[in-house]
Amino acid sequence: MSARDFKLKPNLLCIVPPYPLTSVPLGPAALLGYLKANGCHDFDFLDLRLWVPYSFAPTHQQVGAFGETFVLDVPELPLVLQMLRNFDEGGPLIGPPTELFERYCAERVINSVYLHSYLTSLDRFFERVFSQMKDLRFIGFSCWTTNYLATMLAAAHLKRRKSPPFIVVGGPQVTESAHSAQLGLASGLFDAVALSDGEETLLSLYEAFCQGNGEVTTFVPGTMQRDPETNGFRVTDRKPLRMKELPLPSFEEMSIMSYGRPYDDPKYNNLRILPFQLSRGCTDKCSFCSEWVFWRTYRVGPVERSVEQLKELKSHYKADGIWFADSLLNGKMSRLIEFSEAAIKQKLDVLWGGYMRADMSPDVASLVFESGCRNVFLGIESMSDETLEMMRKRRKEANNIEALRNFLQTGMVVQAGLIAGFPGDTRHRFLHTARVLQEMQQQFANLSVNTEPFAVMPGQPIFQDLERYGLHPQRWAQDYLDIAPKYGSITGEIYCTVDGPNQGIDRLGEFRIGRSLAEAEIGLNYGRKEPLAPFRFNLDYLYGDCALGTLKSSAAMTYGAILTKEEQEELEQGHLLSTVQGQSSIPLLEHPVFADLVARIEAAHLVRPRATTPGIYANNYEGSLSESAALTLSPFVIARVLEARSVLLVVNFISGRLRVLPVSSAWLVELLSVAPRFLDQIRERARAESPPLDDEAWMKTLDELREEGFVVVNDHRRDRPPAPFRRRTSLQVIQPSR
């Protein structure tokens, strides 16, 4: 039995990098839960962010070289157009850098050598990933601003197939930016775009796909699609789902324990935090925010039902922490109070946090703390009444200060959000805001500040009324648009920058002041590169004199190895030699100086590192050991025996989690690294040992490895194959006119 026997299903939900890998993703989990609740078990999930080093937005910037305010509509439009041109011409999707590429990078203070290397390696990564999934029929991508170009690149790889899959893309970027959706549809890379809530839309699209024998020949509500009659675009509306219509999100297709790195305090190393929503939408309508536009209406679910669902998350997935992804947890204060009281009364006993506005009394703050709330993000934005009024915040400075104090005095960790460069704000007002928050930080060690530069995005109310705020938009230069002129009817309408009050040097200065309030860079940093480079190992202490070494491979993947003290010293000697020889810019894994050492390091591992070919297979979570489940090592696990200490180190090199086992467990780890195994096969192997191994001991070790995410469920189809999807008769579609 090989891993090929347990390949992913032909229908897939997928996220591609770059986008922050802060927690298990709620969006795909909500989609999977809804599909299953409606009888559809046809989908797997693949989060390709796990395989590559973290980066936020390497392809664009919000602030230009001279303080420009770039519009986040299609912020890396020249890169998108060059890739589309390459796709249309049948050449390499990422070609050599051009003069326009160099100019684009210079305008945004992006290192062009780094960016081209990043895109080239990402292109190579997608090629190697999708080469392992030749039977894909239907794929849904989740898309944000930061991974829009990468989503287009991944789709281009798939659409070059002789029999390409049906591709639907959903998420904030394509919902809020009509131009992004239209470019994907016009280029043929997207077959449909799901707008806003995606659950019912995805199910309806898949039903239409099945009924059409692999084609969607109808207009499905909740989508933007290409109209074959007019060659234009058609948006078909769908009523938002009510919260009580949403089933429990399904995280079973996800490698839960591969998300997040360990805490400094060992007792929190296995803290399992899952996302959840008590509501969708927002009661506020701030002029700079697109959250309430994306969700369209504010909806809350029944408290009793929400508490029961949270109990199920805790029971099935052993969640001991919840991050509420609601746009505004205290949008309806009575509902937050009701939830907190129910959580206390029913002994929910989980830690939680979420986003709130600056509206909190001392009594309610104490109540939510007692119910488990330990972390809150407050959208303060400003301490100027005039600026807050322009933002339509419905708050004043006094409200902000009072709410902050009431939260902080409970002991909760509070992060206050600021906006630098809001049009109409002034240096004087922003300096006042900074002083107020700095004084509060001196009183409360549990207060941090996250500052984001003001950005213009198409989903904002302000975008529809730029003139009112004194903002003057500028379109992209014509030579950029001429990269792919066939899309000119779309791209000619896209804004590149805005200028106006409090932009330029004022916005840049306020952003720097706001950043100075943070001890470290907290939040979204659009200029952040990957923490790993291909030239040198990043070292983290593991055990004894061993360290976990990680770097970026030429295929964009995170490469991890367990390194002894002697190997670390030998690596340093190699770096000195390569510097003397003028070869320090050659990737370490391809460097002749390190070739022998790398080969010896890899050979010393029981489970070897991967440099070029990602292990793409089902990587699921199951709450307990099952006779019908095929088990295998997570693709992010490496292992090495330390003979001197008679121990086996098993490491998830993505999360950094470590398990130290006796050498006697090496047979089990090695067995699961070769191919997926059912329990009876593992049992048979254990009994073949001399002397035969006791079932209780190795099963205890196996269950612990599964619970900690080192071992995952690859498949559980042998004894209970999924029932065929029964299409509903209530499918609502609109036939194109003939």
pLDDT tens profile 32-83:
999 999 999 999 999 999 999 988 899 999 999 999 999 999 999 999 999 9
**Three-state secondary structure call for residue 377:** strand
Evaluate whether residue 339 is within a structural domain: yes
Number of domains in the chain: 4
How far, CA to CA in Å, does 729 sit from each of 204, 215, 734?
A: 11, 18, 15
Chain centre distance of CA 604:
34
Q: Is the same domain home to 317 and 396? A: yes
Assign 528 a pLDDT band (cuts: 50, 70, 90): low
Q: Is the same domain home to 669 and 563? A: no
How far, CA to CA in Å, does 300 sit from each of 238, 394, 438?
A: 19, 21, 36
Q: Residue 388: CB partners within 8 Å, gap ≥ 6?
A: 381, 382, 395, 396, 397, 400
Q: Output the pLDDT for position 723.
A: 56
Which of residues 500 and 270 earns the better pLDDT score? 500
How far apart CA 117 and CA 53 sit, in angstroms, is 14
- CA 727, 729, 735, 738 dihedral sign is positive
Evaluate whether residue 553 is within a structural domain: yes
How far apart CA 598 and CA 593 sit, in angstroms, is 10
pLDDT > 50? residue 431: yes
How far apart CA 122 and CA 20 sit, in angstroms, is 16
What would the two tokens of residue 430 be? 């922003």
**Three-state secondary structure call for residue 519:** coil
Evaluate whether residue 70 is within a structural domain: no
Of 557, 574, 554, 566, the C-alpha closest to 614 is 557
For the segment 408-425, what is each residue's pLDDT rounded down to a tens digit? 999 999 999 999 999 999
Q: How many residues does the chain have?
A: 738
> For helices 666-674 and 679-687, what crossing angle results, to 10°?
140
pLDDT > 80? residue 610: yes
Neighbours of 640 (CB within 10 A): 24
Evaluate whether residue 105 is within a structural domain: no
Q: Is the same domain home to 274 and 235? A: no
CA angle 299, 246, 734 (to 5 degrees): 90
Mean pLDDT, range 699-714, rounded to an integer: 91
What would the two tokens of residue 186 be? 């016009």
Evaluate whether residue 255 is within a structural domain: no
Q: Residue 386: CB partners within 8 Å, gap ≥ 6?
A: 424, 429
Q: Is the same domain home to 334 and 427? A: yes
Q: Output the pLDDT for position 7.
A: 79
Q: Output the pLDDT for position 527.
A: 45
Q: Residue 18: CB partners within 8 Å, gap ≥ 6?
A: 49, 52, 54, 55, 56, 57, 58, 59, 146, 147, 150
Q: Output the pLDDT for position 718.
A: 43
Q: Output the pLDDT for position 721.
A: 47
Q: Output the pLDDT for position 269.
A: 52
Neighbours of 334 (CB within 10 A): 9
Decide which of 190, 214, 243 is a domain's last residue. 243
Cβ–Cβ < 8 Å for 127, 94: no
Assign 579 a pLDDT band (cuts: 50, 70, 90): confident
Q: Is the same domain home to 377 and 436? A: yes
Decide which of 183, 213, 243 is a domain's last residue. 243
Q: Output the pLDDT for position 313.
A: 95
Residue where the block lists tokens 């795909």? 28
Q: Output the pLDDT for position 191.
A: 98
Cβ–Cβ < 8 Å for 54, 530: yes
Torsion, Cα of 125, 195, 81, 59 (10° steps)? -50
Of 207, 255, 231, 274, the C-alpha closest to 622 is 255
Chain centre distance of CA 267:
26
For the segment 73-116, what is each residue's pLDDT rounded down to a tens digit? 999 999 999 999 999 999 999 999 999 999 999 999 999 999 99
How far apart CA 414 and CA 406 sit, in angstroms, is 11
Of 620, 633, 648, the C-alpha closest to 711 is 633
pLDDT > 60? residue 375: yes
pLDDT > 60? residue 729: no
How far, CA to CA in Å, does 32 sit from each of 208, 249, 489?
A: 18, 7, 36
Assign 577 a pLDDT band (cuts: 50, 70, 90): confident
Q: Output the pLDDT for position 522.
A: 41
In the chain, pLDDT over 90 holds for what percent of residues? 80
Evaluate whether residue 176 is within a structural domain: yes
Q: Residue 735: CB partners within 8 Å, gap ≥ 6?
A: 218, 219
Q: Is the same domain home to 216 and 82? A: yes
User: φ and ψ at 34, to 5 degrees?
Assistant: -70, -40
How far apart CA 451 and CA 419 sit, in angstroms, is 6
Q: Output the pLDDT for position 727.
A: 53
Of 544, 650, 563, the C-alpha closest to 602 is 563
Q: Output the pLDDT for position 719.
A: 43
How far, CA to CA in Å, does 396 sit from each of 62, 240, 387, 402, 443?
A: 28, 32, 9, 10, 21
Q: Is the same domain home to 184 and 320? A: no
How far apart CA 331 and CA 322 sit, in angstroms, is 18
Evaluate whether residue 359 is within a structural domain: yes
Assign 359 a pLDDT band (cuts: 50, 70, 90): very high
Query: Structural domain of residue 43, as residue ranges?
Result: 3-60+75-93+111-243
Assign 621 a pLDDT band (cuts: 50, 70, 90): confident
Q: Output the pLDDT for position 21.
A: 82
Q: Is the same domain home to 214 and 273? A: no
How far, CA to CA in Å, does 516 sit from each of 354, 375, 511, 623?
A: 24, 22, 9, 44
pLDDT > 80? residue 737: no
Of 304, 298, 363, the C-alpha closest to 339 is 304
How far apart CA 180 and CA 458 sit, in angstroms, is 11
- Lowest average pLDDT, out of 413-422, 504-513, 561-570, 726-735, goes to 726-735
Pairing of strands 11-15, 637-642: unpaired
Of 97, 222, 93, the C-alpha closest to 151 is 93
Q: Residue 60: CB partners within 8 Å, gap ≥ 6?
A: 70, 75, 76, 108, 110, 526
User: φ and ψ at 132, to 5 degrees?
Assistant: -90, 0
Q: Is the same domain home to 239 and 269? A: no
Cβ–Cβ < 8 Å for 177, 45: no
Mean pLDDT, range 222-240, rounded to an integer: 95
Mean pLDDT, range 215-230, rounded to an integer: 95
Of 140, 25, 70, the C-alpha closest to 497 is 70
DSSP 502: T
Q: Output the pLDDT for position 716.
A: 58
pLDDT > 60? residue 722: no
Q: Is the same domain home to 222 and 364? A: no
Q: Which residues pair with 12 in a beta bridge?
A: 44, 139
**pTM reported for the whole predicted model:** 0.93
Average pLDDT of the chain is: 91
Q: Output the pLDDT for position 612.
A: 84
Beta strands (DSSP E) in 544-652 are: 546-552, 558-563, 605-607, 630-633, 637-642, 647-652
pLDDT > 60? residue 523: no
Pairing of strands 472-475, 447-453: unpaired
Of 4, 203, 35, the C-alpha closest to 715 is 4
Q: Residue 127: CB partners within 8 Å, gap ≥ 6?
A: 157
What would the two tokens of residue 539 be? 């070292």
Q: Is the same domain home to 125 and 217? A: yes
Max CA distance (Å), the chain = 82
In the chain, pLDDT over 70 holds for what percent of residues? 93
Q: Is the same domain home to 548 and 595? A: yes
Evaluate whether residue 293 is within a structural domain: yes
- CA 84, 90, 94, 98 dihedral sign is negative
